[in-house]
């Protein structure tokens, strides 16, 4: 009978290392942030190009009430909280692991003006008039979910509130058409090689 072999010490150390937090620092909008993340979250080792492009062109004012939709471990939401202080920033995600890390990253970076909680898009977002809503919109959620997000964002914004998103360049026409239909306006803030940052303002 063939004996079962135990994992080698080296393999055990590798597995244990994979369970440890991934920790990195990055400078966003002139502030150094330290992020903890883990395998299974989106871009766990570095800020993805789309999120970076978005935070570089966000229009946020001190005192704004903000929402980061699909916050992941918090790369966009923490910038919102930093720029809008003392205004409050909500950070939501449908992944409980993302919410756990975003909450921890907000605390570790000294951003107390945050609320981080589970929500499938706007399903659990309270009835708060937001001044700024942001999202790194994933193309894979499909047009139906994107349509719900855009309509709900318009409803959740205060008059004059801004909806700023980053998408892959292939969604440019879709976002432009739907922003114009739902909000009545569309502004391209920045076009990168692979992503585009766009904004709509609620009348």
Tokens of 136: 């790194």
Distance separating the N- and C-terminal Cα atoms of the chain: 76
Q: Is 165 buried (19+), middle (13-18) or exposed (0-12) by CB count in 10 A?
A: buried
In a domain, 106, yes or no: yes
pLDDT of 3 reads 52
pTM: 0.91
Q: From the centroid of its chain, how far is CA 196?
A: 15
126-185 pLDDT, tens per residue? 999 999 999 999 888 888 999 999 999 999 999 999 999 999 999 999 999 999 999 999
* Total domains in the fold of the chain: 1
131: containing domain: 9-201
Q: Say which CATH number the domain at 73 has.
A: 3.40.50.150
Q: What angle do CA 14, 19, 23 make, to 5 degrees?
A: 105
Cis peptide upstream of residue 86 (ω within 30 degrees of 0): yes
CB of 98 closer than 8 Å to CB of 41: yes
57-108 pLDDT, tens per residue? 999 999 999 999 999 999 999 999 999 999 999 999 999 999 999 999 999 9
């Amino acid at each position: 009978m063939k004996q079962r072999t135990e994992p080698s010490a080296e393999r055990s150390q590798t597995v244990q290392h994979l369970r440890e937090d991934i920790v990195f620092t990055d400078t966003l909008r002139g502030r150094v942030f330290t992020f903890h993340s883990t395998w299974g979250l989106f871009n766990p080792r570095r800020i993805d190009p789309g999120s970076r492009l978005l935070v570089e062109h966000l229009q946020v004012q001190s005192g704004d009430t903000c929402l980061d939709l699909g916050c992941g471990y918090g790369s966009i939401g923490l910038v919102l909280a930093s720029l809008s202080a003392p205004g409050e920033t909500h950070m939501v995600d449908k992944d409980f692991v993302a919410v756990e890390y975003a909450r921890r990253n907000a605390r570790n970076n000294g951003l107390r003006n945050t609320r981080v909680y589970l929500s499938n898009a706007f399903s659990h977002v309270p009835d708060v008039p937001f001044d700024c809503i942001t999202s790194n919109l994933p193309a894979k959620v499909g047009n139906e979910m994107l349509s719900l997000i855009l309509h709900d964002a318009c409803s959740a914004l205060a008059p004059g509130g801004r909806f700023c998103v980053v998408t892959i360049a292939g969604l440019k026409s879709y976002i432009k058409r739907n922003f114009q239909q739902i909000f009545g306006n569309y502004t391209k803030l920045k076009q990168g090689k692979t992503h585009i940052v766009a904004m709509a303002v609620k009348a």
